[in-house]
Chains A and B, each alone.
Chain A
Amino acid sequence: MRHIMNHYQKPTVQQEQAAVEVKTAFAEHLNQFNASCDAVRDIEGNQSSIANEAFKSALLSHKQNKIIQTDDEMEWRHDLDLSKISSICHRRIAGQIEFAVVESLSLKHGTEMKDVLNRGDNVRKVLQGFIRDQRQVLRLWKDDLNARVKEHLAEKYPGQDMSLVADSFEYKMTRAISETYVHAQSQSHGMRV
């Protein structure tokens, strides 16, 4: 018990101020990060219905679906949107259906990128690959932001121990990603009693 209690370290007034200051300094990052975690969580939670809907769309309304030409000059038919910039598409080759997650990114000066992120003949696996990649993106983001927070604290509070503030920030981001992952596991394995 004593050992557990020793883990809890009460923050000093300065550490509390620094925590508020860091939260303000990286507010935009945190907003976007949390929104991205929510978006991934939504896709994970609904992956079965998304995959079914995409499959149905590819089978039933192939000709009505909008054509998207990717930068590698392949033509895909749009099935459904995963986000504002990514969608599930398909194409028919030799009587078979190939699925892909296509990302359309509009850059400044009117340039546009249309890339195939994940592809395969099994729409569920394509979607799972996309989710896995999104988790990697979130981890990359988390690592970068934690490094930035540590740098920020070292510059603003030189010579002071702000590890508690940095650790707390990192914990919150890690938890946001873990919640995403745990949610996905409960969806794919069902409830355990």
Chain B
Amino acid sequence: MATDNETIQATTSPPVERLAYSIEEAAQMLGINYHSIYRLIQRGKLKACRALRGKLLISRDELLKLLKSE
């Protein structure tokens, strides 16, 4: 049985920062459509890596770099 203090700690602990995001998540974070995300990847403006099954993932650092570089 968790004490009140433990419950408060569990609910207020900071969310774990994700290391990488899918195309949809990246599109949402940047406020652009999927096509624009793929265009940025194709042009090398946004570096993506391939996960185990071949899907593309974009690192959090890459997204922040793009937002800061403008």
Contact = CB atoms under 8 A, between A and B. Distances in A.
Interface of A: 28-29, 32-33, 36, 71, 85, 103, 105-109, 111-113, 115, 117, 133, 136-137, 140-141, 143-144, 146-148, 150-151, 154
B36 A105 contact: yes
A147 B23 CA distance: 12
A111 B39 contact: no
A71 B45 CA distance: 13
Interface residues of B, number: 27
A39 to B, nearest CB: 9
B39 A137 contact: yes
B42 A136 contact: yes
Interface SS of A by simple majority? helix
Interface of B: 22-24, 29-36, 38-43, 45, 50-51, 53-56, 66-67, 70
Contacts, number: 72
Given A141-B34, A144-B56, A103 B70 contact: no
A1 to B, nearest CB: 36
Contacts of B40: 105
A144 B35 contact: no
Contacts of B66: 107
B38 A141 contact: yes
B36 A85 contact: yes
Given A111-B70, A147-B53, A137 B30 contact: no
B45 A115 contact: yes
A154 B52 CA distance: 13
Given A107-B70, A108-B31, A115 B38 contact: no
Given A107-B32, A107-B66, A148 B55 contact: yes
